[in-house]
Amino acid sequence: MLSIQKKMSLMWKDERGLGMLEMILIIAVIVIIAVIFRDQLSNIVKSLLGKANSKTNDFMDDK
């Protein structure tokens, strides 16, 4: 019984795969947030691209 408890204790303290798990969880949270707010994000990106386009046209027309 004691050896099983020691093995479980060692396995619990083993952190070799922890970095990959953290990265997967962070990516999953970002994807979930992007899915929830996709309409708002789409509007923001369209607005920014529209502003960049108008600024580029203004710059090119001045020359």
Band of residue 17 on the pLDDT scale cut at 50, 70, 90: low
Other CB atoms within a 10 A radius of the CB of residue 41 amount to 13
Query: Residue 20 above 70 pLDDT?
Result: yes
Q: Provide the residue type at 23 as one letter.
A: M
pLDDT at 27: 94
Q: Which residues of 20-40 are buried (b: 16+ CB within 10 A; e: fewer)?
A: eeeeeeeeeeeeeeeeeeeee
Q: Which residue has the tokens 């970095």?
A: 19
Residue type, 16: R
- Quick one: pLDDT at residue 26? 93
Task: Please determine, for residue 40, whether its predicted confidence score (pLDDT) is greater than 80.
Answer: yes
Q: What is the pTM of this model?
A: 0.46
Region 28-42: mean pLDDT is 92
Q: What is the pLDDT of residue 16?
A: 65
* CA–CA dist 45, 56 (Å, integer): 16
